[in-house]
Chain A
Amino acid sequence: MKVVFQLAVVTLLTVAGILLWSYLFPSPQHIIRARLNSLAHVASFNSQQGILAGFNAAHNVGDFFSTNVEVDLDMTGNPDVTLTGRDQIVQTVMRTHATLNELKVDFPDLNITVGPDKNTATADLTIRAQIDGDGNSVAEEMKFTFQKIGGQWLITHIETVQVLT
């Protein structure tokens, strides 16, 4: 019985140690996952949000991207969209705030791969957007490319992944 108790204590301490370690020194995957969840949170808005809050949110969204970011979207039934540079992203987000009443963004599936240099990473993800709370949502698979710039993981490229070719 004493051995079982000692084993339980050792297991508990090991689990606690691993959790503490991952909290103090999070892996790049963990950091990128957290950033993407923050991005989804910042990019989402509801009808109660005012103009100033929208302006602020648009600039906050811009903080997740590198200055020379490139976005290539090719979605079925919609015209192709190409954005270049952080400023265009911010302007697009501001236009979205002006056009839509409500937007809810989330990433239900995330597969993050960190490059061998530990400074680049790609996230193969599903982005789901619910527009104006009508119950209909749009889902697309996308590939986000990250680069560690100034100690922060910033998005440098976004492209649509064609599930059906």
Chain B
Amino acid sequence: MSLKPENSPASAAETLAGNPGSHSWVRVAMIGRNWKVTLVRTVIWAVITVIIFRVALVRVEVIGISMLPTCPEFSRYWVNRCAYLWHEPRRGDIVAIRLAGIHEMLLKRIIGLPGETVAFADGHVLINGVLLNEPYETNSCDWEQPPETLTNDEFYVCGDNRTMPQQDHYHGRCTRNRIIGKIFK
């Protein structure tokens, strides 16, 4: 002889249904064949979701025009915070750079890597004196900047919109610990 508790999920579903057999699929759909397994699975998925959307990914909205035309103003992207766990940032990556925290960040493209010398001449980027190929740059500009050598912990970042006056465009060297992650579109 077996006893089933009155408040068990199965008995509740059957009572509500009035017909035990025809509504067993509702119970399976709602809580699975084994409610303990379903509970564990739910907790695991909740933890994974929190990790992904709180730790690994950050949603950002672009404010400002310094990344035009690649990232238009008010467009939204995800920042992958795990992008640089296994390798260092690379040239051409669009990265998020933190201020005091991650609620406000700068969105810039890496053009210079640690140890390199970066200069602007007649609107073109020179890395160690060699012209940098920038297919994302569709407009010409007249920026000029004397060579700057980066330390082993610094990257040179700049927006894509070089049609802006150079003095209004926030660009320069940033340390590795400020780079939060890479955006993906």
Which A residues are closer than 8 A to B by beta carbons?
76-77, 108-111, 124-126, 128, 136-137, 139-141, 161, 163-165
Contacts and interface: CB of A to CB of B under 8 A. Distances in A.
Contacts of A108: 101, 103-104
Given A77-B170, A109-B99, A109-B101, 15 more contacts: A76-B169, A108-B101, A109-B100, A109-B103, A109-B104, A110-B100, A111-B101, A125-B100, A126-B101, A126-B103, A139-B99, A161-B99, A164-B106, A164-B108, A164-B171
B46 to A, nearest CB: 22
Contacts of A136: 63-64
Contact of B63 (A76, A109, A137): A137
A76 B157 contact: no
A115 to B, nearest CB: 18
Given A76-B170, A77-B167, A139-B104, A163 B63 contact: no
A163 B170 CA distance: 10
Interface size class of B (residues with CB under 8 A): 20 to 34
B178 interface: yes
B89 interface: no
25 contacts: A76-B167, A76-B168, A76-B169, A77-B168, A108-B103, A108-B104, A109-B101, A109-B102, A109-B103, A109-B104, A125-B100, A126-B101, A126-B104, A136-B63, A136-B64, A139-B104, A163-B97, A163-B99, A163-B106, A163-B178, A164-B157, A164-B172, A164-B173, A164-B174, A165-B174
